[in-house]
Amino acid sequence: MKKIQGIVWLVIVIATICFLYRARKPAAIPVVAPASAAAPGQPGNPSAPPNNSAASTLSPSANSTSPPLPAMLSAKAGMVEPAPAMVPVEMSPGIVIQNVRHAITEYGAMFGGNPVGTNPEITAALAGNNPKQINFIKPEAGMRINGNGELVDTWGTPLFFHQLSGTDTEVRSAGPDRKLWTPDDVVTR
């Protein structure tokens, strides 16, 4: 009788482990609204100060009264799917750009060279579309992805990546004026 009880408990434990393993979800990546969709006084408006509150995430419908819905990028399909809510963190634009640069460096160390291509291609590689399916994007480090699958800066403007070499990449934010190559750009390499 005790042997049967032991087997029943073992089956229950194995079933629980299998259930928990299948229920496991990838890390969430916040998605921000494109700059053109911002209302006056909202984060996408260049005259508004940066705001990393939950209101800066892309909601399912612009006219919806439902709360904003963070999303995550599916590395395999390249699609945006609903994800659990995350607590936004306020960081200086320079720190966010350095964190993106650090993610690129980690990728380069793991794969022998930095990801190359356009912003969406680099973002997809960092988000898990790589040989080991490793996600280098950390929302808690201020890294955000817009609806077009691009890494964006504090103001919701897509970042510019300049490949200096196979192991050195310059990351540029357009800054508060949201125009590249002006004096307020935030740059790291």
The answer to whether residue 9 is domain-embedded is no
Instruction: Give mean pLDDT in consecutive 10-residue pieces for the chain, a chain of 189 residues.
Output: 78 73 52 45 44 36 37 43 47 92 94 94 95 94 95 95 90 94 91
Q: Is residue 11 part of a domain?
A: no
Residue 99 within any structural domain of the chain: yes
Residue 47, SS3? coil
pTM: 0.55
13 lies in some domain = no
Residue 134 covered by a domain: yes
On whether residue 70 sits in a domain, the answer given is: yes
- Quote the tokens at residue 63: 């006219």
d(CA 94, CA 56): 19
Report if residue 6 sits inside a domain.
no
Alpha-carbon gap, residue 105 to 5, rounded angstroms: 53
Question: By residue range, what is the domain housing residue 61?
Answer: 27-188
What pLDDT does 23 receive?
57
* 56: in domain: yes
Total number of domains constituting the chain: 1
Closest C-alpha among 33, 23, 1 to residue 145: 33
Give the three-class secondary structure for 168.
strand
